[in-house]
Amino acid sequence: MKLFPVIILLLSMSLNIWADNSNLTADAILTGLKERQEEDLTKFITFLDYDCNKSLLTDREINVIVKQLKIIQDTDPYQKMIDTKGGKTNLFPNRHVSRQCMFKFQFQTISNSLRKLPVEQRVSKIMDGIIHPQDIYGYSTYGNYASELGKCGKEAVPFIIQYKPKESYYCRAIVGALAGIVDVRGLDYVIEVLNNKEDSFSLERPICASALKSFYGIDSETDKRIIRILAEALKDETYENIDRHMPQQYYQGHKPYIGRYYTVKEEASKSLSAITGKNWGLLFNDDYAAWSAWFASEDQDTFSPATLKRSDKDIAKLIEYMFHRYMSARPNPWQPQNILEEKEGIAGLSRDLKALGEKVVPLIIKEYQARITETPLWRKELMQWTKQLLISLDWKDSKKLAEKLDS
């Protein structure tokens, strides 16, 4: 139900009252469920859902707790009016939050049985659960089985990497587990998924680019390899079309306000910055040429991507990516803020563009024309931003062209 996040938001400020006592006994949990009422009960159930250590409970204890939660779900009388975009809605908070809590306790019994198995058999059972998830109280167990895989530890890695399902969705769970375990034997698996160019793996490739940073620090040769792989990933042209002005609800006649979000380039550049401490700014940080040249440089501490010799074609590509970056509002494509249009963003882009020389001016104009031809809805917003950028370059020709941009 869509109202569930609303309830969690209302409760999030007060859940820390049990934070120092997460290892509650079954008797303490049952007492709380039977004696607490109204909002106090809502807070308690939400705590049990998210923060209670369920692994110390036996299956028998869990079954008794689930029965009490089911009683609450069916009969609890507490009601509360919730403000929504459509007005006010009457809700039964305790009935609402108890369902997911029941699911979490119920899955703990599955988890308990899995942890009793030898590691190879445990991995096999978990993988079967990932590929064939169950439905418990209306919730899929896929994510829970994926979490269990990551808890198997390093001894499980040789068995985990034997599973190579054709469906990308299942590989995603394996990549997440391997990144959490951090064993060098899992590195090749993550790289293999990253390099899978099938369209069905378009969502998994950026996940792999992000996961690779977890393996950094194992040894120097592995570190060098990871940097090379991530730099190569900056050539990946995978992107998502982001509707920057998408309404809360679809309406007839809505026209997509598209920005192109290069997902693998974004995650690879963030991983490179995280593991190296280097950041080449808004223009160069997802540039393959910059990172590969830095990696090959004899003086990495003083390297600057602005000093690289680039062809006009290479510079044009940089500017194309710059426009796409602005239009997708990376690194927050689904939020309204956009660092590239802020004062600091314009200043940073201007500094780097100046280093490339005045040849960038006609290339900026050309790219502006290409983008508004492709998506005319962007004309007004792109015109304003492009003008700011050209004026900030502070060249005579760039200022003149900025004034003529709307003619």
> Cα–Cα distance between 91 and 80 in angstroms, integer?
5
pLDDT per position as a tens digit, 369-387: 999 999 999 999 999 999 9
pLDDT of the residue at 10:
43
Quick one: which of 173, 185, 175, 108 has its CA closest to 147? Answer: 173
Residue 11 has pLDDT above 50, yes or no: no
pTM (two decimals): 0.87
Q: Which helix (H) or strand (E) holds 169?
A: helix 168-181
pLDDT of the residue at 85:
65
257 falls in which pLDDT band (50, 70, 90)? confident
Sequence-distant (≥ 6) Cβ neighbours of residue 239 within 8 angstroms: 260, 261, 262, 263, 324
pLDDT per position as a tens digit, 83-111: 776 678 888 999 999 999 999 999 999 99
Q: Which 8-state DSSP code applies to residue 33?
A: H
Rg (C-alpha) for the chain, rounded Å, is 26
pLDDT per position as a tens digit, 51-83: 999 999 999 999 999 999 999 999 999 998 877
pLDDT of the residue at 90:
86
The fraction of the chain above a pLDDT of 70, given in percent, is: 91
> Cα–Cα distance between 327 and 220 in angstroms, integer?
38
23 falls in which pLDDT band (50, 70, 90)? confident
- pLDDT mean over 145-163: 97
pLDDT of the residue at 17:
47
The fraction of the chain above a pLDDT of 90, given in percent, is: 82
- Per-chain mean pLDDT for the chain: 91
pLDDT of the residue at 48:
97
Q: Which region among 11-20, 247-256, 373-382 has the lowest average model confidence (pLDDT)?
A: 11-20
pLDDT per position as a tens digit, 109-122: 999 999 999 999 99
Task: List phi, psi (to 5°) of 92.
Answer: -100, 90
13 falls in which pLDDT band (50, 70, 90)? very low
pLDDT of the residue at 333:
59
- pLDDT mean over 187-216: 97
> Cα–Cα distance between 128 and 132 in angstroms, integer?
6
- pLDDT mean over 39-58: 96
Q: Which region among 52-61, 238-247, 351-360 has the lowest average model confidence (pLDDT)?
A: 238-247
One-letter-per-residue 3-state SS of 300-353: CCCCCHHHCCCCHHHHHHHHHHHHHHHHHCCCCCCCCCCHHHCHHHHHHHHHHH
Contact 119, 156 (CB under 8 A): yes
CA 162 to chain centre: 26
247 falls in which pLDDT band (50, 70, 90)? low
